[in-house]
Amino acid sequence: MAAQAEVQRADGATLACVFVLMLLMIPARLVISGIPMSITPATLTGLALGVIWFCCQLVTTLGVAKGRNLARTALFLYAISQLATYGYATRNYLPMDELEGADRTIVVVFGTICVGIAVCDGVQNLARLDMLLKFMTVCIGIVAFIGFLQFALAFDLTKYLAVPGLRPVTDDGFVLERATFRRPAGTTGHPIEFGVVCAIGVPLAAHYAYKTKESGQKAGRWWLLLAIIACGAVVSLSRSAILGMCLGGVVLLLGWPGRRRVQALIAAAGFLVVLRMIVPGLIGTLYSLFDNIGSDPSIEGRTDDYASAGEQIAKHYLLGRGNGTYLSEKYGPLDNQYLGTLVQNGYIGLVVLVFLLLAGMYAAARVRAISPDPVVRDLALSLIAAQSIVALGAATFDLLWFSTATGLTFVLIGASGALLRAVQAQTPVLPPMWRAVR
């Protein structure tokens, strides 16, 4: 009984689940009332996790991991780059609106960084990490379902998700339209973000569906969840979501066994056929997104601001002009996170951001290299696929400007680090010569 109580008590994974709940279930347009800057409950929870993590690092009795980890190192480097940019930007005069943007952004960024570090060091074993990722996948499924209701029935459930102490910053539900279809946002801040969030959930839902099936249990609920999440990505009518799902699918197909590849391809074809029958014209609209890409006004609008961005890069090429100071309403939007990072964080910030994304994927790839457990290897592959979707999404829209996608990004990076820690703790240390032979 004592051992059972030890497993069930609240720990870092439990606190991370609280953050995921705040991030995905509370609409992104709701912020805390009575605070000068727009701070979401998820950001506040992330900062609280950072304080708890720091206190746990002062003692050795709470089971929080210490020591080097690739994902942890990347998160620390990213935090240092953000502080350096903030100090560089605020050492001289800034207009009040840009200063407020810089202040808010540094708070939000550290809220998400703290989440990544807390997950990396605070999730103690594979079972607790599995619980966290399952919970996150289910929450993404709920977000996808809310978005599908917005798309199909024009019913915005988020209007009824009013939380005392929070105020809305916008009144948008399904905020845009494309062709004759509504573009849902779910509980996120924009249809593009909604689509990318759903795309991130597809590899994780597929992992748990196959895992449940291969363990001999009934996997119907996971297949249903996978279908709902995939529908959410498709009805977002977002190029970022479709490209992300394609890239994630390629990553999974490269790592899956041959039989599963055939099953997945047949299931994907069947999914598209059923979707075409249920929603006439949807597949054609998706095809037109890429067929008319050369003459699409939204694409032209994204490239119109590259000249002004180049001027800013030339002025502040090392540390950037300041994260949060390049306001879209003032200078125009930058629908490319890598370009936005180059403008606001300079070449140093861009290099660190790329290293951060690659570190999360490499940590998961390292797990696939050293773990003999096929279930763990498949989970690592799903994490690589999900993070590759994030990396691609950063090239197609300003991902880190949206709180839900940003929060999931750092949870995934922290989860990759936690998975690597757990597997290294289980894997026996081999002599160098035997490791080379193996």
**Quick check: is 220 in a domain?**
yes
In a domain, 281, yes or no: no
CB 331 within 8 A of CB 354: no
Q: Which contacts qualify for 403-406: CB closer than 8 Å, 24 or more apart?
A: 403/23, 403/28, 403/40, 403/42, 403/43, 403/108, 403/189, 404/23, 404/24, 404/28, 404/187, 404/188, 404/189, 404/193, 404/197, 405/188, 405/193, 405/196, 405/197, 405/200, 406/108, 406/112
Q: Which residues of the chain have pLDDT under 50?
A: 1-7, 429-438
In a domain, 319, yes or no: yes
pLDDT of residue 124: 86
In 3D space, the residue among 194, 150, 155 whose CA is nearest the CA of residue 24 turns out to be: 194
Q: What per-residue confidence (pLDDT) applies to 21? A: 96
The predicted-structure confidence for 135-190, as pLDDT tens digits, reads as follows: 999 999 999 999 999 998 888 888 888 788 998 887 655 556 665 788 898 999 89
In a domain, 433, yes or no: no
What is the pLDDT at residue 305? Answer: 66
Count up the domains in the chain and report the number. 1
Q: Whole-angstrom Cα distance, residue 398 to residue 336? A: 5
pLDDT for the residue numbered 359: 96
What's the pLDDT score for residue 11?
A: 83
Domain residues for 347? 12-255+304-427
Separation of alpha carbons 217 and 224, rounded Å = 15
Whole-number pLDDT of residue 177: 65
The amino acid at 435: R
Q: What are 28's two structure tokens?
A: 């992104």
Contacts of 223 (CB under 8 A, 6+ apart): 209
Q: What is the pLDDT of residue 431?
A: 47
- Six token digits for residue 164: 């005392």
Q: Is residue 342 part of a domain?
A: yes
The half-sphere exposure of 408 on its side-chain side, counting CA atoms within 13 A, is 31
**pLDDT for position 87:** 94
Is 437 domain-assigned?
no
DSSP letter string, 46-113 = HHHHHHHHHHHHT-SSS----S--HHHHHHHHHHHHHHHHHHHHHSS---HHHHHHHHHHHHHHHHHH
Output the pLDDT for position 343: 92
pLDDT at 298: 60
Structure tokens at 251: 């990553």
Q: What pLDDT, on the 0 to 100 scale, is given for residue 12? A: 86
pLDDT of residue 243: 94
- Alpha-carbon span 168 to 27, nearest angstrom: 9
Q: What confidence score (pLDDT) does residue 393 get?
A: 94
Does residue 436 fall inside a structural domain?
Answer: no
Whether residue 270 is contained in a domain is answered as: no
User: DSSP secondary-structure letter at 11?
Assistant: -
| pLDDT number for residue 288 | 76
pTM for the complete prediction?
0.91
